[in-house]
Structure 1
């Protein structure tokens, strides 16, 4: 019976909302970090304001700083919690509230006009920050107990509170909360075309069009939605082919080279085994780089030719490459040309995680490494296509 009352209570007060976002998805450690960050930020703002404004008639701390702390540290990924939005939203709201308090004498009209103008200007300047509405009402409410506040209100306490809170929040978000910024996926090859995998996924224009048809106040950015949907697709793909991992399909008998291997030897291995990439490993078989055919061809200037000219140029290119192999490569090591920008996976990764790595980066194979970066296999595009075909 007791559990029944609890379920009824949650239902009545909408605490059992299965269709909404659950804050319980936030890891416990992240919650403690947010609590710590809010404590440190508010403590520093109050301490510095008290030290700077001691003996003056200025307020020491804006009540709206508490509401801002909830957004900045409790929901740091929200577009409403961006540091720039926080700073300019409060400053703009304070200026509007101060201006209206000097121009209007009727309290009710003053309050309504202030908030209306604040919302309008926040829309125009893209600085929507709800706690700033409290800042705007401070000079309005002050007129009920005395004369309108002076314009130094924008400096003390508003300016002081904002600068301290902004500085502290930027530091804490970077070094304590470690907020992950949404960045474009790697692999765009310097053209306007999207990476292959992205062409079949949602695009920003799709998200933008959908958002326009939904509630106009969605508290999430387009980039966040695209990233969220991509991750959801990845999870769904993992679930569909969850029985296959990289360790199940990777090649284990590998042809490798070391950084001190000559370029001539590396080139000979590529030609002999008819592969286009060699993993570069150290003495402990840890992956330190890769060298591919394209690394060798970077030294060759390839012009456009057609017909007979194309055949002649191909012959000249072959001879030149052969000459480079004997003359140019002989005095250089793999370490001189290998790429250290490594894109890898682990043996326990689901094979679906290889799809964006191969598709978005123009790769033909992905090295598989252990936690200490020891090379244990390679998965090629052919391996992946075969595995995904058989898994259906």
Structure 2
């Protein structure tokens, strides 16, 4: 019996009591202010309802699921206005109220899909325009303005203020356009791209109550969570290389090269007199930014000019003039799993690690990261293999 009941319970993600309270209070404020402001605008003796029932359903979307595509500003405004126009028109041209209601709701759905303003409560708006009674029928197309447009605008204004004040981004700006994309090779390193998500949704060919960008973000977070679980919650402090050699901004380029050679390392953090990382020097910097001849390293003409313009002095052939900035750094407590997207999207092979005082504590390399993840997978696989052996 219990399993049968579970089939009818939707698989909604876990929501904290604080979020439940936030949504309920938002709906309370939204509906109350919508009714109060409409009463002030129309007066107590208005011939049409001050509030229409579909606003209750709109409040559920705007305050409980503000990230839903169905709850965005264009959804509520466009959906309600289109539905009310269709409903009033159907009521005026079709004598049978039941047929007019069916046509109104049907046409409203079709137009909302075409105009990308799907808002489920708008179906009830169309129905109200047809079956709302003599007071609604008497005002005709005035019903679109009073109370539909007024109710929608007031409720939307409250949702805009309340959601943002309580820590919920609204409207979902990313829903109207694609986020900046990484280079194709970077997208392949991450595992999937925004285009992959859109392609799957296109194949699915159904309206789902989630923005593609939000879905992409959730999937990437799930990947990071899985990596964190497999790595056993390791932090950068657990895998970083300590006692790292560093140089000052004023170190001559040739001296830095000798350090790289002698230490057989590929990166040198550049620190100031407070041990704060101000840049990194890599083999790529030495190859791409420096011209080498029999006299040693020297800057090319173009870089010399840029350096003189930026620093206001002639270049001295020191590390500061070729180091990579700004620096992508993490703290010692950063989870190892969080390094995967950072290294994938930035193309970095080494990342400085800072201590609680913001000073250099070590460096994490891609090799360190891969070793930690592989070890985590092996440890995860061992108990599973043991269980399988026992089962056999």
TM-score category of the 2 structures, normalised to the smaller one: 0.7 to 0.9
Give the superposition deviation at 1:379: 0.7
Q: Which residue of 2 aligns with 1:315?
A: 293
Residue 195 (str. 1) matches residue 206 (str. 2)? no
Task: Tell me the TM-score normalised to structure 2 length.
Answer: 0.76
Q: Which runs of 5+ in 2 are unaligned?
A: 261-265, 379-392
Q: 2:348 aligns with which of 326, 344, 363?
A: 363
CA contact (8 A) 2:299 2:317 kept: no
CA contact (8 A) 1:80 1:129 kept: yes
CA distance in 2, matches of 1:269, 1:171: 58
Give the superposition deviation at 1:88: 0.8
CA distance in 1, matches of 2:203, 2:147: 41
Go from structure 1 to structure 2 and tell me whether the alpha carbon gap of 1:387 and 1:98 turns closer, same or farther (over 3 Å shift). Answer: same
CA contact (8 A) 1:279 1:367 kept: no
Q: Which residue of 2 aligns with 1:50?
A: 39
Q: Which residue of 2 aligns with 1:328?
A: 314
Aligned CA-pair RMSD: 3.9
CA contact (8 A) 2:69 2:209 kept: yes
Q: Which residue of 2 aligns with 1:310?
A: none
CA distance in 1, matches of 2:58, 2:125: 11
CA contact (8 A) 1:367 1:375 kept: yes
How many residue pairs match? The answer is: 359
Q: 2:77 aligns with which of 56, 76, 87?
A: 87
Q: Which residue of 2 aligns with 1:227?
A: 217
Q: Which residue of 2 aligns with 1:278?
A: 269
Instruction: Within 5 Å, give how 1:1-392 maps onto structure 2.
Output: 8=1, 11-14=3-6, 21-23=11-13, 25-55=14-44, 56-143=46-133, 147-179=137-169, 188=182, 191-198=183-190, 201-211=191-201, 214=204, 216-242=206-232, 244-256=234-246, 263-265=249-251, 267=253, 270-274=256-260, 275-278=266-269, 280=271, 283=274, 289-292=278-281, 315=293, 319-321=297-299, 328-330=314-316, 339-340=325-326, 343-370=328-355, 373=358, 375-391=360-376, 392=378
In the TM superposition, what whole-angstrom CA distance separates every residue of 1:180-223 from its partner, at most 9, and x where no partner exists? 859678882xx45443423xx24445444544565724322333
Task: Tell me the TM-score normalised to structure 1 length.
Answer: 0.76
In the TM superposition, what whole-angstrom CA distance separates every residue of 1:219-257 from its partner, at most 9, and x where no partner exists? 223333332222222222222221643211112224457
Give the SS at the match of 2:241.
coil
CA distance in 2, matches of 1:319, 1:233: 44
Give the superposition deviation at 1:90: 1.0
Q: Which runs of 5+ in 1 are unaligned?
A: 1-7, 303-312
In the TM superposition, what whole-angstrom CA distance separates every residue of 1:2-39 from its partner, at most 9, and x where no partner exists? xxxxxx5x54533885xx5344x223322222222222
CA contact (8 A) 1:85 1:127 kept: yes
CA contact (8 A) 2:252 2:318 kept: no
Give the superposition deviation at 1:278: 2.2
Go from structure 1 to structure 2 and tell me whether the alpha carbon gap of 1:146 and 1:353 turns closer, same or farther (over 3 Å shift). Answer: closer
CA contact (8 A) 2:246 2:268 kept: no
Give the superposition deviation at 1:108: 0.7
Give the SS at the match of 1:62.
coil
Go from structure 1 to structure 2 and tell me whether the alpha carbon gap of 1:186 and 1:222 turns closer, same or farther (over 3 Å shift). Answer: closer
CA contact (8 A) 1:187 1:360 kept: no
Go from structure 1 to structure 2 and tell me whether the alpha carbon gap of 1:95 and 1:334 turns closer, same or farther (over 3 Å shift). Answer: farther
In the TM superposition, what whole-angstrom CA distance separates every residue of 1:287-318 from its partner, at most 9, and x where no partner exists? 6x434459978996x9xxxxxxxxxx753996
